[in-house]
Structure 1
């Protein structure tokens, strides 16, 4: 069977999206002449559209099962694609349910019951995302999966007017998982430590984290505030120029690490670095409770990266 039309499903979150870029590249290399559509969600639209591997990007509004008109529109969108093969890299209950929505004998790589190429390893959930997806693709015949690569990203960051050298600071994270955040006063102390060494701290985050970033800047006025002002592409470009980065286990740290920036990533027991840590020049520091992680230990890890 000639595979002409392909659907790749990756709905989120940001760190998982970044770690799927190796598989994205492998799928394109395996099907150089196919029309490949990515199904993702609105927060990742700009990044998805910039990716070099897709002919089309479609957005999933993730309707609830009882939202019948929206579900019917989603089903129509999936069926109108006339896909020969689907690579479900989300492998969630939601994405697996789309196997039934397609309503035809499409080749399917994932974990949907009854699919043609199931990733049936009973220990798949104990694997790091990158190894898990590599094994999933091997089942369907894609044996060469490169590491995630962001070298294609282009963005002009000169408009920020940053002083060199600078270090990126990601103090935020998912609002519904506060245990994944190092206390803001520790980030402020770290920023002051950097400023004393003539390294400008650059605070990244969303507008929702503006108050926390404002509190850090109150204690360290030398820090630059880019909250709500950076796209995903900007973050990668900033990572290329940065001396180093420190942050919680959050999506932007995956972009920064994949951008080649030496990074210290902070984990609590709310997430497991063995399953999801960023790859690259990364030092992981973990405590059951991040409030128990001293600024001095983070400074020491950072020193090993930035001082000769």
Structure 2
């Protein structure tokens, strides 16, 4: 750390969660950056998403050692806290590790701000966290459903300028395309849209001159291969792109379809309009992805009840047949 950095206000953000929670955290991180414009902001997190978060402009440094620090003995954590020189610590969801650090931070001069949805807090996590930050001086103290800003990943444009591996052409996508983000095999089949429907939707897209690309991690490879096999012209990218590359694809996509999985939340944050399939009797208002463009929620007791025609109509309603957005 340089002398200039030492003279700046020092802010620490703690967060450790799955991909959905990590994408949502970006909304709070943007608000914190706007409030602490000249501060040096460090994100202390887990290792899973370091490769993506290190490119985010809201942080000056990303340290993936939260769990390792929490494993240290209390007196060692206390010494680290005293030597940290942090002025403010924002706990945006760090679990047990964060609670251990909070105990040690009592011996430092840092102000501790906890902005985490509690089990009994009603509403969408983004609105709840924004209100808690507001109570700490970062805006309004209450947000109605859908009122708080969603996460944004438009900073991925800066990465794309330096690497062609984020461009659609790198994956063979030359014209208009739509992204399919099906849940992987870790989700029970009863809670997934049938693979036959995905294949039929891919066929419908090809007939309209829009190339379908199936994205996801290793757990989605089986359905990706099935769709590409049954529907020649569909492109199976499952297991071939990391999160930064997938964010790059999202920023140029005409549309995205997916189930309630972290990847869909990331694609929506990059600016892609989307449809989310969700099983159950109740609409998932408190789980919906949020971004610059609309996300339509399609829910049914079982997802097999949602037809391909309904999915296409939802895409049309949300503007998915409009020209793809141009990245900056």
The normalised TM-score by structure 2 is: 0.79
Distance 2:248 2:186 in 1: 26
Distance 2:281 2:187 in 1: 11
5+ residue gaps, structure 2: 1-6, 141-147, 323-328
Partner of 1:253: 264
The equivalences for 1:155-304 within 5 A come to: 155=160, 156=164, 157=167, 158-173=169-184, 175=186, 180-269=191-280, 273-279=284-290, 280-304=293-317
Distance 2:134 2:114 in 1: 12
Aligned-residue Cα RMSD (Å) equals: 3.2
Change (3 A) 1:302 1:222: same
Distance 2:75 2:220 in 1: 36
Aligned residue for 1:24, secondary structure, equals helix
Change (3 A) 1:64 1:146: closer
Deviation sequence 1:160-209 (CA, Å, 0-9, x none): 12131111000124825665422222211111121222211101011232
* Contact 1:87/1:108, CA 8 A, preserved across alignment: yes
Distance 1:75 1:220 in 2: 59
Query: Following TM superposition, by how much is the alpha carbon of 1:33 offset from its aligned partner in structure 2, in angstroms?
Result: 2.8
Count the aligned residue pairs: 297
Aligned residue for 2:285, secondary structure, equals helix
Distance 2:74 2:224 in 1: 39
* Contact 1:268/1:288, CA 8 A, preserved across alignment: yes
Match of 2:45 among 29, 40, 45: 40
The answer to whether 1:8 aligns with 2:21 is: no
Query: Following TM superposition, by how much is the alpha carbon of 1:225 offset from its aligned partner in structure 2, in angstroms?
Result: 1.4
* Contact 2:254/2:321, CA 8 A, preserved across alignment: no
Distance 2:258 2:232 in 1: 19
Change (3 A) 1:71 1:301: farther
Deviation sequence 1:131-173 (CA, Å, 0-9, x none): 1111111111111775432222132313112131111000124
Match of 2:55 among 50, 54, 66: 50
Match of 1:108 among 90, 112, 117: 112
Partner of 2:22: 17
The equivalences for 1:78-89 within 5 A come to: 80-89=83-92
Change (3 A) 1:202 1:69: same
Aligned residue for 1:265, secondary structure, equals strand
Deviation sequence 1:225-262 (CA, Å, 0-9, x none): 11122232322222222221111111121122122222
The answer to whether 1:62 aligns with 2:100 is: no
